[in-house]
Chains A and B, each alone.
Chain A
Amino acid sequence: KNEVEQSPQNLTAQEGEFITINCSYSVGISALHWLQQHPGGGIVSLFMLSSGKKKHGRLIATINIQEKHSSLHITASHPRDSAVYICAVKKVGGSEKLVFGKGTKLTVNP
């Protein structure tokens, strides 16, 4: 079983909709990362969090350590948000290795 699971695998939305992408993990972690991979392949780090909630523009990331779950929300989605969103965790006591989820492919239609 993968240590990091994302859902859904694919998500199609209409412009303006509120989007939620989920990440569940089965190990103790010191940090959780959300990344965005553009259709051209480039990867950008969006958030790193260990508790609570972070907000940047229309993006909000939350984490519940007790439930081992994180969500990435996009408000007022736009076609330019179309990308693959990747969750990654850093395990407690682990080395430099991040454990990555397989990603959620988001398509926002105009």
Chain B
Amino acid sequence: NAGVTQTPKFRVLKTGQSMTLLCAQDMNHEYMYWYRQDPGMGLRLIHYSVGEGTTAKGEVPDGYNVSRLKKQNFLLGLESAAPSQTSVYFCASRAGVFWGQETQYFGPGTRLLVL
């Protein structure tokens, strides 16, 4: 099993450009998350999904959109990139809602630089 994978690993964008980050998991997990990690700050939740076809806002959702059309994939979109969105983005998944299923499995991260 590959676990959680993220595409791309690194990307440079110009201000105003758009892009989509792809997260894929092969563990049949229900829950998926997108986080951003910035220097001097803890991980912050952008959006999450509790199942196929569902999405919800996290702590810092502005400027991002997400979709979960298939259970195994969670896409994060930036419609008009801004330098403030320069960050490392992590995707994570977990099996379900019950105790013991709360461990989150993280992808390797995507480093995004917006000029």
Minimal beta-carbon separation of B90 from chain A (angstroms):
6
Cβ–Cβ contact B42 & A100, under 8 A: yes
Minimal beta-carbon separation of B4 from chain A (angstroms):
10
Cβ–Cβ contact B102 & A97, under 8 A: no
Minimal beta-carbon separation of A88 from chain B (angstroms):
7
Quick one: which of B42, B58, B92, B104 contacts A4, CB cutoff 8 A? Answer: B42
Q: How many residues of A contact B (CB 8 A)?
A: 23
Minimal beta-carbon separation of B110 from chain A (angstroms):
10
Kindly state whether residue B74 has any CB partner on chain A within 8 Å: no
Q: Which residues in window 77-115 of B have CB below 8 A to A?
A: 88, 90, 92, 102-106, 108-109
- A103 proximity list for chain B (CB < 8 A): 42
Kindly state whether residue B2 has any CB partner on chain A within 8 Å: no
Kindly state whether residue B27 has any CB partner on chain A within 8 Å: no
- B103 proximity list for chain A (CB < 8 A): 33, 45, 48
**How far is it, in angstroms, between the C-alpha of A35 and the C-alpha of B103 when the chains are bound?**
10
- Residue of A with least CB distance to B31: A96
- B92 proximity list for chain A (CB < 8 A): 43
Minimal beta-carbon separation of B58 from chain A (angstroms):
6
- Residue of B with least CB distance to A99: B42
Kindly state whether residue B59 has any CB partner on chain A within 8 Å: yes
Q: Which residues of A contact B (CB under 8 A)?
A: 2, 4, 31, 33, 35, 41-45, 48, 86, 88, 90, 95-103
